[in-house]
Amino acid sequence: MKALVLGGDGFCGWPSSLHLAANGYEVLIVDNLSRRLISEKISTPSLTPIRSIERRIEAAQKIGNIRFAYCDIAKDPGKFKEILVNFQADIVVHFAEQRSAPYSMLGDAERKYTVDNNITGTNNLFSTLTELNQRPHVVHLGTMGVYGYNDAFGEIPEGYLNITVKQTQKDVTIPYPVNPGSIYHMTKCLDHTIMQFYAKNWGFQITDLHQGIVWGTDTDITSTDEDLINRFDYDGEYGTVLNRLVVQSQVGYPMTVYGTGGQSRAFIHIQDTARCVLLAAENPPEESSRVQVFNQISEVHTVRHLAQMLHDQTGAEIAYQDNPRREPAENNLRVSNAGLCSLGFEPITLADNLTKDILATVSKYEHRLDRSVIDSRARW
C-alpha cells in the first residue's frame, strides 16, 4: 500500500511517516520545509538537532521504504499534480498546514499566510484528485479547537450532533457547530467544510482527525537513531503547552500560565499521534458521502493542573500572567474518543510518566536553548 504524507517533515508528520513505513507502507513525504524556515525567521530552531531532510531519509531507509519530494502544495499545484499522477497513492495523510494559533494571530501577514496556505493546500489536494479521478482515502489532521472548548452540548461527540429541531420536532444529525478561537482554528473549520463538499459531491472517503494538543517528542522509532530525532519546539509561538511547561520547569524559567490556568484542553502523546494516524488510515469510512470524524485525544486537563504536576515533580515556580488571548478564564470540557478506541487505540496518559523522558531530552539539549523566545508575542 502506498501512503503519501503531506507535511511529513513536521513534528507530527515525521514520526507518523516512520510508523507507516515500519508497518509496511511505501511512504512518499511531500513537504516544502516551510516549518524549518519559519523557525529560523521568527524564533529559534527545534531544541533537538533535527537532521536535514536528506539525512533523515537516508537513516529512515533502515526502517522501511520512504522517500521525499519537495513541493509547496498550496503554491505549486502543477508539481503537486505530477506527484499525485506518478505516485498513485492508496492513502493520503494531510499534515501540511501552518499549525500555530499564536503565529496566525501575530499580524496581517501571518493571518493571510495561514489562510492562503491551509485552505488553498487542502482545496488543491481534493480538486486535483477529482480531476485525476483518483480516490485515495484522505486522512486530514484537524484540531479539537474547531469545536470551541465548552460543554454547552455535553460531551463533545465525534464531529456530529444529534438534535431535535424545535420547530418540527424532528430528530436530525448535524455537523457539530464550529467555534474557532484563532485564525488557525478558523482554517481547520473551513478545511472541514471543503472536505464535506468533496465527500458529498465526488464520493471521497475522508477521515478528519480532530486532534488534541500534542506533547512529547520521541517515539519508539525516532529514539532509535539520532538521525531520526524528532523536532521539539518550546518557543511562544510553536511550542505546545505541556512541552513548553516542561522546558521552563527544567531550565528554571517560571512556568508561564495564562490567567488562572483554568483552560481545559485535550492532550495526546506524539507516539499515539503516529499510532492513531495508522489506525485511521486503515479504517476508511464506509459511507463516502460524509466525512468520518475521530477525536484524536487521550485525556483532558487544565493548564493549571499540568503546571501543578510539574511543580510537584521539579519544584519549579508557576508564574500566573495576564491572559494574552481572548478566551474564557475557566471552562469545562468532556470529549468522546470512542471511535479510535473502538479500533483498538489504548491511550498513553500523563500518569505513564513520560514527562520524565521529555525532561531528559531537554536536559541533553539545554545548551541549544534560547531563553529570549520562551514568551509568546501574540496578543488577541
Ligand X SMILES: NC(=O)c1ccc[n+]([C@@H]2O[C@H](COP(=O)([O-])OP(=O)(O)OC[C@H]3O[C@@H](n4cnc5c(N)ncnc54)[C@H](O)[C@@H]3O)[C@@H](O)[C@H]2O)c1
Going 149 to 356 to 294 to 34, the CA torsion angle's sign is positive
Cell of 246: 516542561
Q: Which residue in 5, 11, 255, 303 binds ligand X (CB under 6 A)? A: 11
Place of cell 468520518: 292
Q: Is 143 a catalytic residue?
A: yes
SS3 content of the chain, % helix, strand, coil (to 5): 40, 20, 40
Which of 211, 219 has the CB closer to ligand X? 211
Measured distance between the N- and C-terminal CA atoms of the chain, rounded to whole angstroms = 44
Decide: is 73 part of the binding site for ligand X (CB under 6 A): yes
Which of 32, 337 has the CB closer to ligand X? 32
Cell of 204: 471521497
Which of 1, 69 has the CB closer to ligand X? 69
What's the CA gap between 4 and 16, in Å, rounded? 11
Interstrand relation of 91-94 and 2-6 (parallel, antiparallel or unpaired): parallel
Q: Which residue in 4, 9, 183, 259 binds ligand X (CB under 6 A)? A: 9
Decide: is 7 part of the binding site for ligand X (CB under 6 A): yes
Q: How many residues bind ligand X (CB under 6 A)?
A: 26
Decide: is 211 part of the binding site for ligand X (CB under 6 A): yes
Active-site residue, selected from the candidate residues 149, 187, 188, 207: 188
Stretch that binds ligand X, among 96-104, 307-315, 325-333, 361-369 (CB under 6 A): 96-104
Stretch that binds ligand X, among 70-78, 172-180, 247-255, 316-324 (CB under 6 A): 70-78
In order, the DSSP letters of 34-81 are: HHHHHHHHHS---SS-PPPHHHHHHHHTTTS-EEEEE--TTT-HHHHH
Report the nearest approach of ligand X to the CB of residue 7 (Å): 3
Residue 177 phi/psi, 5° resolution? -60, 130
What's the CA gap between 118 and 159, in Å, rounded? 20
Which of 16, 248 has the CB closer to ligand X? 16
Active-site residue, selected from the candidate residues 114, 143, 240, 273: 143
Decide: is 95 part of the binding site for ligand X (CB under 6 A): yes
Decide: is 335 part of the binding site for ligand X (CB under 6 A): no
Q: Which long-range contacts (CB under 8 A, 24 or more apart) does 105-110 make?
A: 105/182, 105/183, 105/184, 105/378, 105/379, 105/380, 106/237, 106/377, 106/378, 110/183
Report the nearest approach of ligand X to the CB of residue 189 (Å): 12
Q: Which residue in 4, 12, 89, 199 binds ligand X (CB under 6 A)? A: 12
Which of 237, 284 has the CB closer to ligand X? 237
Residues that bind ligand X (CB under 6 A): 7, 9-13, 31-35, 72-74, 95-97, 99, 117, 121, 141, 143, 211, 213-214, 240
